Amino acid sequence: MKVKRYEGKNIQDVISKIKVDLGPGATILYMKDITQKRLFRKKIKKIEVVAGREETKPSLDTAKIELLQWELKELKESVKTITSKITNGHIDRPAVSPQPGGGGQPFSMVPGENADRKNTFAPVIRNMKKRLRDLDIEEEIVDLVIEEFQNKYSEKEFMNPLLFDDFISNYIQHQIAIAGPIVTGGRKVVAFVGPTGVGKTTTIAKLAAHFSLVERKRVSLLTVDTYRIAAVDQLKTYAEIIGIPVEVVFSPNEFLAALSRNQDKDLVLIDTPGGNPFDTIRMSELKKFLEQDTHIENHLLISLTTKAKELIEIFNCYSVMHIDKVIFTKLDECKTFGNILNVAAKVNQPISYVTTGQNVPDDIEVGETNRLMNLILRGRESLFQGRKLEGIRR
């Protein structure tokens, strides 16, 4: 980042200098009143501003530039209001004495002028909130983030948008729990549950292809058909192409017998019929199958295109049957990825995989913190920068 210090008699004066010098993408990092007091002489009013500009291609970051322009505009308006109040004698400008610790303030304010203080920072906070809302982060979480940021940093630091970026990144990193990929070793049994159409069968096919063809593991598929109507042809077709066995089971007893027939496998992937998660009878039927073997790892699939509120409801419905990990599907159909944070902040379940399209076996990735953080903060522009599962070897 290119950082420079500017001085001027008022904020408009300094901002024009910055604009000419650094261009419209400039960020105000720091601002201080350095009005010089001369004994028996008139005060010489001066403002010091430290501004910087990211040295990235502007076209890559137009959103940020727009944001900064907006911030600058808001800032100018606030300064105008304060300046006019000072001029009209509504605010008694204090003499600027060195602050303890050598720090200046973005604006000098009289102690007790809380309303003005609030007004000064309100645009900055509004702007921060807008940024988070635009990522489709829920209001509740937006408020929490801002509150934590306010508690952590001083007002001087508050004005630095880069600091806010860092803060959000850290916040997201702390919120998202990562499960890592399925690890085979001994026989591993993984069941995939979730509402109809979220992508259970497709995800199983992607994982089966990976573990069987890339990792050279012995893989078999099992499908639980609680209603004798579930479409199993799709799974059978995938199994045939990959060249692995598939079995259909209709009762909890058959299920146990099928599991024991597959003792020699490295990995058994179980497909389930899904259905409406609010259908409690169906849920408890499925539970009867899966709870017979406590070693089964249950992955709940959730389409990220679902509304945040519904996601939580689905999660709550499925939590009656012991969920170990979460897979987010259909990321390719999302405009924003704030939902990842919305769920992570409320549901303490680690993410194993994310799926990014219909292609079998390509469109699946292991959930990784940095990757998910980039998706949340940068949106679709980072969607195709993930590491495909095919290339991952352990």
Ligand X SMILES: Nc1nc2c(ncn2[C@@H]2O[C@H](COP(=O)(O)OP(=O)(O)O)[C@@H](O)[C@H]2O)c(=O)[nH]1
Q: Whose structure tokens read 């910087």? A: 52
Consecutive H or E run containing 270: strand 267-271
Q: Is 200 near ligand X (CB under 6 A)?
A: yes
Tell me if residue 191 falls in helix, strand or coil: strand
Q: Is the peptide bond before 94 cis (omega within 30 degrees of 0)?
A: no
Residue 254 binds which entry of Mg ion, ligand X, none, CB below 5-8 Å type-dependent: none
Out of 78, 160, 201, 298, the residue judged to bind Mg ion by CB under 5 A: 201
The rounded Cα 74 to chain-centroid distance in angstroms is: 27
Q: Which residues pair with 311 in a beta bridge?
A: none
Nearest 10 degrees: Cα torsion 210, 215, 220, 221: -20
Nearest distance from residue 149's CB to ligand X, in Å?
34
Site residues for Mg ion, 8-27, by CB under 5 A, read none
Stretch that binds ligand X, among 280-288, 324-332, 376-384, 386-394 (CB under 6 A): 324-332
> 269 near 219, Cβ under 8 Å?
yes
Place of tokens 């809302």: 133
| Concatenated DSSP letters of 4-20 | EEEEESSHHHHHHHHHH
The candidate with the shortest Cα–Cα distance to 179, out of 333, 294, 388, 326, is 326
Min CB(192)–ligand X separation in Å: 8
CB of 214 vs Mg ion, minimal distance in Å: 23
Ranked by CB distance to Mg ion, the top (closest) residue is 201
Cβ proximity to ligand X: between 352 and 356 the closer is 356
Q: Half-sphere exposure of 54 toward its Cβ, with a 13 Å CA cutoff?
A: 13
Find the shortest distance in angstroms from Cβ 200 to ligand X.
3
For ligand X, the binding residues in 357-376 under the rule CB under 6 A are 357-358, 363
Q: Which span sits near ligand X by CB under 6 A: 78-86, 164-172, 193-201, 261-269?
A: 193-201
329 binds Mg ion (CB under 5 A): no
202 touches ligand X (CB under 6 A): yes
Q: Which does 27 bind (CB under 5 to 8 A by kind): ligand X, Mg ion, none?
A: none
Choose the stretch contacting ligand X; rule: CB under 6 A; options: 108-116, 200-208, 241-249, 280-288: 200-208
The Cα 88–Cα 66 span in angstroms is 33
Binding site for Mg ion (CB under 5 A): 200-201
Binding site for ligand X (CB under 6 A): 194, 196-202, 274, 329-330, 332-333, 355-358, 363
